[in-house]
């Protein structure tokens, strides 16, 4: 018999001001239920179970500021599912880097080669949405915008797990999200709403245009940023920033071509160039901080897993666009 995991109860516990009362039996039952769900989702390739697991992680992230819940019942569920998810992604998407003995130069080359191969700016869905017009672009935008949710809170978690030059670089990137003149969130929302869309974190994952890969990508960043070792997250964020300028240039040209004004396009204009500096900075941090072969392999794993998961998300968006 399958053990059920009650999302509503988990969310109630995660949101409780001083935590909810719990007993050992409740924690044990939650652990069993989460382990059974994790096995079906990440070991037995049950797609419905995977969707349920990713949704649970997603909503607990929202309720716990993108960190593991302090409540023992919600916490054991989040941790069990997240660890199973990360292990599955490492097996499926990161195996090419696992256990490799990278030198610093080899790590740098591997990171740059991964962006060149798997950077989403190369994905054919971008040409598809340009051909199919605004309805197709809205599908892409819903998944892009939703997958950005929690970005600054994820960086804040990573700040706590870094030191020295790495901490400084993460803090600078976090500060850029809250520019005194206009925040990145404001720019994103301005563009998003120009498409006739409104965002709700509660409703995004049940929207008919949403793809599972978007939830998986958002949850991946949260998980990596809460690991004790920051190397996988640093590799992940390097590839986020390295992919984004060339992709932003594509979106800028695409939207300029359909008559969008410069004020609305400010998000794309800004990121088409600013993130070039960010990606170079992340790479220098990795070169400076990844002192051992194990650390360098962890950084490449985080990078490759993020890139391939985003590519898979774009594959799923392409399927949605093709159905229009």
pLDDT beyond 70 at 178: yes
For 45-76, the pLDDT digits (tens) are 999 999 999 999 999 999 999 999 999 999 99
For 225-274, the pLDDT digits (tens) are 999 999 999 999 999 999 999 999 999 999 999 999 999 999 999 888 76
pTM of the model: 0.95
pLDDT beyond 90 at 177: no
Exposure class string for 108-120: b at 16+ Cβ within 10 A, else e: bebbbebbeebbb
Query: Would you state the pLDDT for residue 65?
Result: 96
Query: Would you state the pLDDT for residue 19?
Result: 83
Share of the chain above pLDDT 70, in %: 98
Query: Would you state the pLDDT for residue 20?
Result: 85
Map out the domains of the chain with their CATH numbers. 7-92 (no CATH), 99-322 (1.20.910.10)
pLDDT beyond 60 at 183: yes
């Amino acid at each position: 018999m399958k053990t059920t995991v009650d999302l509503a109860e988990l969310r109630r516990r995660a949101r409780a001001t001083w935590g909810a009362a719990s007993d050992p039996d409740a924690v044990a039952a939650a652990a069993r239920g989460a382990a059974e769900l994790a096995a079906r989702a990440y070991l037995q390739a049950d797609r419905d179970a995977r969707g349920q697991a990713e949704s649970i992680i997603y909503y607990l992230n929202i309720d716990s500021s993108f960190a593991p819940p302090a409540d023992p019942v919600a916490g054991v569920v989040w941790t069990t599912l997240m660890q199973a998810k990360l292990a599955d992604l490492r097996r499926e998407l990161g195996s090419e880097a696992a256990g490799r003995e990278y030198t610093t130069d080899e790590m740098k080359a591997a990171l740059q080669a991964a962006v060149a191969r798997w950077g989403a700016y190369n994905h054919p869905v971008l040409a598809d949405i340009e051909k199919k017009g605004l309805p197709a672009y809205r599908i892409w935008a819903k998944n892009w915008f939703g997958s950005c949710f929690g970005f600054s809170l994820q960086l804040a978690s990573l700040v706590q797990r870094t030191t020295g030059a790495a901490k400084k670089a993460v803090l600078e990137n976090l500060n850029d999200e809250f520019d005194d003149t206009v925040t990145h969130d404001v720019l994103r929302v301005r563009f998003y709403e120009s498409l006739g869309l409104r965002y709700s974190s509660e409703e995004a994952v049940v929207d008919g245009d949403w793809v599972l890969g978007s939830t998986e990508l958002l949850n991946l960043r949260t998980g990596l940023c809460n690991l004790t070792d920051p190397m996988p997250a640093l590799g992940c964020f390097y590839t986020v920033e390295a992919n984004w300028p060339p992709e932003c240039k594509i979106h800028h040209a695409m939207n300029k071509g359909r008559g969008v004004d410069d004020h609305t396009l400010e998000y794309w204009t800004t990121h088409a160039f600013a993130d070039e500096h960010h990606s170079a900075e992340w790479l220098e941090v990795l070169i400076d901080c990844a002192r051992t072969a194990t650390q360098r392999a962890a950084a490449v794993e985080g990078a490759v897993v993020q890139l391939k998961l985003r590519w898979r998300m774009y594959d799923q968006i392409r399927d949605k666009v093709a159905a229009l």
